[in-house]
Amino acid sequence: MFNQTHMNTFTVIFLIALVISYSIQFWLSMRQKSFVLRHREAVPDAFKDTVALDAHQKAADYTVEKGKLGDIDSIISIIFLLILTLGGGISLVFEFWSTFGLSPMYTDLGAVASLILLMTVLEIPSSLYQTFVIEEKYGFNKSTIAQFFKDQIISLSLVIAIGMPVLALILWIMDSIGTLWWLYAWAILMGISLLMSWLFPTVIAPLFNKFTPMEEGSLKDRIQSLLSRCGFNSNGIFIMDGSKRSGHGNAYFTGLGNNKRIVFFDTLIDSLDEEELEAVLAHELGHFKCKHVLKMLAASSVMTLLSFAILGWLITQDWFFSGLGVETHSNAAALLLFTLVSPVFTIFMQPISAYFQRKFEFEADDFASNNAKASKMISGLVKLYEENASTLTPDPLYSAFHYSHPPAAIRIAHLESKM
C-alpha cells in the first residue's frame, strides 16, 4: 500500500508521533474505563446523601460504553489518516479531479469538498451508534432517524455555503499574495470567525433548534435581577428545545457585542429549581465577566497565527509533501495535509488547554458563589451530574488530560469552601 520510494525522514517522524499520540490516548482511555469500573460498587463519600447507587452505576456504565466507542473511532481515524496520507489517498483524489480539465481553483475545491464529504460520511455510523444505541439505552435519546439526517444535511449545507467560499478565498490569497500570504489568510479567517460568532445566536443556531423568549414570571424576574446586579446586557433570555434531540441539559450564552443571548435548554428548566438555575446562570456570567471568552479567543487566534506561519514555511518544503505521500504540490493539498496531520504533533497542548479551561471553571464558580448561592450551585451541579450520567469518579490522569471541567468532587469541594 505504501509508496516506499517517497518515504523520507519526515515519514518516520510522522509515524513515531502518530504512535506516541495514539498510545497516550488509548492508555488514558483504558485507565479511565478501569478506574470508573473499580469505583462502580459504591457512591463516593461526598455524594452519599445526594446520589443514589443505581444512578452512580448508570453513570459508570455510560462512561465506559462511550469510552469504548471513542476507542473504535480512534482506530478508524488512524486507518483513514494513513490511507489518505502515506496510502496515497489525497494524491488520488487530486489526480481524479484534475482529469476534468477544470481551472486549478475548481480542481482544488472539488478535491477538498469530496474529501470533506467522505469524512462526514465516514463519521455517520459512529454518530448513529452513539445516538440510537448508547444514548437510547441510557434514556437520553429523543431524536429520530429523520431528525438525525436532517441535522447532517443542514450541517453539510452550511459547510458548503460558508466553508467553500472561505476556502476559495484562502486558496486565492495563497496563490496571489506571495510569501506573506499566511498573515493575510489569518487576518481574514479571524474576521470571518468573529462574524460567525456574532451571527451564531440569531442566524445559525435557529437552523437547528427553536428559541422561545422566556415567559414573564418569577424565574425571569430572578434572572433579570441577577443580570442587573452583575451589570450584564443581553439581547434576551431564551429557552431552547433541546429535548427535541436529547435529555441532556445545559445553559450557555452566545454571541458577541450587542448580539448576546442567554440560552437555557428546556431540559434544564425542567430539572433545576429557580435558585439553582440562577446559580448556573451566574456561573455562565462569570465566564463573561472574568473575560474568559476574550482570553480563549486571543489564545486561539495566536495558535491559528502560529499554525499559518508554520504552514507558510512547510508549503515551501518538498519533504513535507513527499514524506506524507502526496505527489502533487498544491496549496490545497498542503492545507489538507496540515489539518489532518497537525493533531498528531499537538497532542501535548491538550492537557495545557484543559488546565486553563478548568482554571476558568473555578473562577466562574467563584463568581457564581459571590452573586448567587454556592449551596444552590452545588445542588444544581449534583442534579446535572446525575441527569447527564457524568461519572463522579474519573481517573485523575485522564481527567487532567481531557476534562474541560474539574472532576465533580474537586469542583464541589471548591464551592463548599466558598460557603
Active site residues: 284
Q: What distance in Å separates the CA atoms of residue 204 and residue 81, rounded to the nearest whole number?
A: 30
Count CA atoms closer than 13 A to 34's CA, side-chain side. Answer: 6
Residue with the three cell numbers 437552523: 207
Rounded to the nearest angstrom, the gap between the alpha carbon of residue 346 and the centroid of all alpha carbons in its chain is 16
The binding track of 94-123 with respect to Zn ion, each residue x by CB under 5 A or -, is ------------------------------
Work out how close the CB of 408 gets to Zn ion at its nearest, in angstroms, rounded to a whole number: 14
CB of 148 to Zn ion, least distance (A): 28
Provide the residue count of the chain: 419
Site for Zn ion in 346-385 (CB under 5 A): 361, 364
- Would you say 411 and 363 are in contact if contact means Cβ atoms under 8 Å apart? no
Question: How far is Cα 85 from Cα 83, in angstroms, rounded to an integer?
Answer: 6
- Judged by beta carbon, residue 135 or residue 361, the one nearer Zn ion is 361
Inter-residue contact 369 to 377 (CB < 8 Å): yes
Contacts of 417 (CB under 8 A, 6+ apart): none
Q: How far is the CB of 360 from Zn ion (least distance, A)?
A: 7
Reported as half-sphere exposure (CB side, CA atoms, 13 A), residue 63 has a value of 30
Asked whether the beta carbons of 44 and 392 are under 8 A apart, the reply is yes
DSSP state letters, 99-168: TT---HHHHHHHHHHHHHHHHHHHHHHHHHHIIIIIIHHTT-B---HHHHHHHHHHHHHHIIIIIHHHHH
Minimum Å gap between C-beta 364 and Zn ion is 5
CB closer to Zn ion out of 361 and 366: 361
Site size with Zn ion, rule: CB under 5 A: 2
- Our CB check for Zn ion shows the closer of 18 and 293 to be 293
Closest to Zn ion by CB, 361 or 395:
361
Q: How far is the CB of 357 from Zn ion (least distance, A)?
A: 8
Output 138 or 252, the one with its CB closest to Zn ion.
Answer: 252
Q: Work out how close the CB of 54 gets to Zn ion at its nearest, in angstroms, rounded to a whole number.
A: 28
Cα 256 to Cα 199: distance, rounded to the nearest angstrom: 9
Place of cell 518538498: 318
Choice between 41 and 416, CB closer to Zn ion: 416
Which residue in 26, 2, 32 sits closest to 14, CA to CA?
2
Residues of this chain, 227-246, that bind Zn ion according to CB under 5 A: none
Q: Identify which of residues 33 and 287 has a Cβ nearer to Zn ion in the complex.
A: 287
Q: What is the DSSP letter of 179?
A: T
Least Å distance between CB 136 and Zn ion? Answer: 28
- Pairing assessment for the beta strands 211-213 and 237-240 based on DSSP bridges: antiparallel
d(CA 106, CA 199): 28
Contacts with Zn ion by CB under 5 A lie at: 361, 364
